[in-house]
Structure 1
Amino acid sequence: MSQERRMAVLSAIVEDYVQTSEPVGSKALLDRHQLNVSAATVRNDMAALEDEGLIIAPHTSAGRIPTDAGYRLFVDRLQAIRPMSRGERAAITDYLEGADDLDVVLDSTVRLLSTLTRQVAVVQYPSLTRSTVKHIELVPMSETRLMVVVIMGTGRVEQRVVPTGVDYLAPQGADALASARGRVNAATRDRRLAEALDSLRTLHDEDVETEDALTAGVIGVVEAALAEERATKVTLAGTANLARSSSDFPMTLEPVLDALEQHVVLLKLLSVEADQEAPGVSVRIGSENPVTGLQGTSLVTSGYGAGDEQVGAVGVLGPTRMDYPATMAQVRAVATYLSRIVDA
């Protein structure tokens, strides 16, 4: 019973400190929360929590604030992620509804999430190594040129114009193109890009009915898409929100801002979440972040994807003094809706 009571005291300290940014004393806890115990009991519980390294007294203040370990225990003991209201869910739907271009979708996503959380929002572009081919379209541009359009399951599109030796605008060429389109899609549809590339190479070597230039052009587009994987990027919004929490960074914001400028750092952090097989919300608190400049922050992330396949991650970065239940709910809701968009 005493352990549960101490956890209730810890939760109350976290909630009050997040709301007020002021150290929390025993009198404030008794005034604001229904703990149903004496002031002496609360003081004893606070002393025990301090001994366990879950709260500390900043400077000479009589109040206490949570440590990284205290926040960690608070988050781990959350029974469930707080559901968003119907109005909040409707706002997400309305804001993202109708966007079909991937860049527009991801830009809208980070702007929405930074507005909801009042923190820095970041989203990883879909990883092409996890992407599947949804459809390959072959469009004749002239008597000697053909446009190859590869549409990924994530909504990403790669295209290029390739030279051909067949006039696909002529009736006979149009029939040949329709046949080739069917064989190319049969070899690639719903396959990951690397697998689709292998199938295309087999088609190129063995299919005598399809023009070599055509299959070579399709292979070139898929190869280019895979090569671009090295340039997978992130986009972010809401950096100015950090200024509102400058008191949470007693030294300077400069290390945090420097880390945010290095997109490869954020990509590395988000890629860990995208690599997880099980969907869910992940929280890294303070010193749990491997990047030195971000060890005064917390990162709340969730993967998104098409079907059961996670292809990227979306998250929020802010000070450790964060409303974790609300932020976790908002990140999860936005990631869920983003998954619906890329899976459409």
Structure 2
Amino acid sequence: MSDDRRLDVLRAIVEDYVATREPVGSRALVERHMLGVSPATIRNDMAALEEAGYIAQPHTSAGRVPTDKGYRVFVDRLSTVKPLSAPERRAIGSFLEDAVDLDDVVDRSVRLIAQLTQQVAVVQYPSLRRSALRHIELVPVGPRHLLVVLITDTGRVEQRTLETDAELDELLVARLRVQLNVCVAGRRLSELTGALDTLTAAFEPVHVSLVASVVTIIEETLAQESEERVVLAGTANLARVGGADFVGTLGPVLEALEEQVVLMRLLSEMAEDEATVSVRIGRETQHAGLLETSFVTTGYGDEHGAIARVGSIGPTRMDYPGTMAAVRAVARYLTRILAGS
């Protein structure tokens, strides 16, 4: 039996099952697909695919449905991610480019992915660890309180308030602001330590305490993992579009989605995949609540590489080519927007 033909049969089964939500029989394959072989040959191929674990029969006298293993082969054999149409690309661009700040960009992106895929959308905020600092602002907010504002190249803004030992000298604060921005502009966290350590040498001993306190609060803010977060949209899509695909209940799926630590773990693991668009199918998510779902993600960032990820979660019976195309397209526009911000 031809391996190429067997893959054609598997691909046809996946496409038909995604489209109809019904188990696929040999007669349907003959009628809908130009496979170039007899129904008997297709039945033999389906038997071989079932024996190998790529498809399964949900109940007697039914057709066949893909297994996680079958979906994996289907996704891995996609030669390219199909491009979106020109109108779809224009719609994405115009929708995202009207955003006014980072929060608005993230909010628009997650709603857009949910709309395009009719699944749950996930957008991870740009990581402070992987972002570069664009500017630091120091604002006295009282005799002994200094507001430290960090603005990254992705538009993320973090604010911390520092209580000082002595009353603030506005001239000293202005001088420190200038020196800080000379040291940090365009640098990432990994590049900051040495630059900030030399900063205290530029100030008189009487001012070292203030400088050291500001440097410490900057380093602590950039190092905080607790600030990493994701935004979700479209959870109602699971009940409307994919509810019948979940054997038990939507409860475990929704509970898993509410656990930020679960999503952050998956996003972190998938960031290590070599594929441009990463896909975890069923048990590959390694979470009991997500065994009947698939997770499609890709990175977005700047000229230095990916700094966060966007994705879509839906039933394993999803339109993989369409979902991968939508996620990739939104990620590319996000990268373009952030690079130009």
Tell me, yes or no, if the aligned pair for 1:279 and 1:303 is still in contact at 8 Å. Answer: no
CA deviation profile, 1:26-49 (whole Å, cap 9, x unmatched): 111111111121111111111111
Tell me, yes or no, if the aligned pair for 2:120 and 2:313 is still in contact at 8 Å. Answer: yes
Q: In structure 1, which of residues 274, 297, 318 is the aligned counterpart of residue 271 of structure 2? A: 274
For the residues of structure 2 that align with 1:230 and 1:70, how far apart are their CA atoms? 38
C-alpha distance 140-242 of structure 1, shift in aligned 2 (>3 A): same
Tell me, yes or no, if the aligned pair for 1:197 and 1:219 is still in contact at 8 Å. Answer: no
Aligned ranges 1:104-119 → 2 under 5 Å:
104-119=104-119
Tell me, yes or no, if the aligned pair for 1:304 and 1:312 is still in contact at 8 Å. Answer: yes
Counterpart for residue 251 of structure 1: 248
Counterpart for residue 328 of structure 1: 324
Shift of 1:5: 0.9
C-alpha distance 98-287 of structure 1, shift in aligned 2 (>3 A): same
Tell me, yes or no, if the aligned pair for 2:277 and 2:297 is still in contact at 8 Å. Answer: yes
For the residues of structure 1 that align with 2:185 and 2:328, how far apart are their CA atoms? 30
Q: In structure 1, which of residues 293, 296, 299 is the aligned counterpart of residue 295 of structure 2? A: 299
Q: Which moved more, 1:155-164 or 1:53-62?
A: 155-164
For the residues of structure 1 that align with 2:30 and 2:54, how far apart are their CA atoms? 19
Residues 1:60 and 2:27 are matched in the alignment: no
- Which runs of no fewer than 5 residues in structure 2 stay unpaired? none
Q: Which moved more, 1:50-59 or 1:211-220?
A: 211-220
Counterpart for residue 311 of structure 1: 307
Counterpart for residue 236 of structure 1: 232
Counterpart for residue 96 of structure 1: 96
For the residues of structure 1 that align with 2:143 and 2:243, how far apart are their CA atoms? 63
For the residues of structure 1 that align with 2:169 and 2:325, how far apart are their CA atoms? 55
RMSD: 2.5
Counterpart for residue 76 of structure 2: 76
Shift of 1:267: 1.0
Q: Percent identity?
A: 55
Counterpart for residue 333 of structure 2: 337
Q: In structure 1, which of residues 172, 190, 215 is the aligned counterpart of residue 186 of structure 2? A: 190
Residues 1:39 and 2:35 are matched in the alignment: no
For the residues of structure 2 that align with 1:338 and 1:258, how far apart are their CA atoms? 28
Tell me, yes or no, if the aligned pair for 1:17 and 1:24 is still in contact at 8 Å. Answer: yes
Q: Which moved more, 1:19-28 or 1:245-254?
A: 245-254
Tell me, yes or no, if the aligned pair for 1:23 and 1:61 is still in contact at 8 Å. Answer: no
For the residues of structure 1 that align with 2:223 and 2:147, how far apart are their CA atoms? 20
Q: Which moved more, 1:41-50 or 1:177-186?
A: 177-186
For the residues of structure 1 that align with 2:182 and 2:37, how far apart are their CA atoms? 70
Counterpart for residue 290 of structure 1: 286
Shift of 1:208: 3.6
Shift of 1:73: 0.3
Counterpart for residue 201 of structure 1: 197
For the residues of structure 2 that align with 1:141 and 1:231, how far apart are their CA atoms? 24
The aligned length equals 337
For the residues of structure 2 that align with 1:262 and 1:284, how far apart are their CA atoms? 18
Secondary structure at the counterpart of residue 114 of structure 2: helix
Secondary structure at the counterpart of residue 231 of structure 1: coil
For the residues of structure 2 that align with 1:314 and 1:137, how far apart are their CA atoms? 30
Q: Which moved more, 1:178-187 or 1:109-118?
A: 178-187
Aligned ranges 1:124-273 → 2 under 5 Å:
124-138=124-138, 147-160=147-160, 167-168=169-170, 173=171, 180-208=176-204, 211-212=207-208, 215-216=211-212, 218-226=214-222, 228-244=224-240, 245-273=242-270
For the residues of structure 2 that align with 1:253 and 1:334, how far apart are their CA atoms? 27
Q: Which amino acid aligns with 1:98?
A: D
For the residues of structure 2 that align with 1:167 and 1:231, how far apart are their CA atoms? 31
Q: Which moved more, 1:304-313 or 1:52-61?
A: 304-313
Shift of 1:83: 0.6
Shift of 1:288: 0.9
Shift of 1:53: 0.8
For the residues of structure 1 that align with 2:206 and 2:329, how far apart are their CA atoms? 46
Tell me, yes or no, if the aligned pair for 2:56 and 2:65 is still in contact at 8 Å. Answer: yes
Q: Which amino acid aligns with 2:154?
A: T
For the residues of structure 2 that align with 1:177 and 1:233, how far apart are their CA atoms? 32
Q: Which amino acid aligns with 1:301?
A: T
TM-score of the superposition, structure 1-length normalised?
0.89
Counterpart for residue 24 of structure 1: 24
For the residues of structure 1 that align with 2:245 and 2:275, how far apart are their CA atoms? 31
Tell me, yes or no, if the aligned pair for 1:275 and 1:310 is still in contact at 8 Å. Answer: no
Q: Which amino acid aligns with 2:45?
A: D
For the residues of structure 2 that align with 1:275 and 1:152, how far apart are their CA atoms? 24
Counterpart for residue 6 of structure 1: 6
C-alpha distance 63-217 of structure 1, shift in aligned 2 (>3 A): same
- Which runs of no fewer than 5 residues in structure 1 stay unpaired? none
Q: Which amino acid aligns with 1:240?
A: A
C-alpha distance 82-112 of structure 1, shift in aligned 2 (>3 A): same
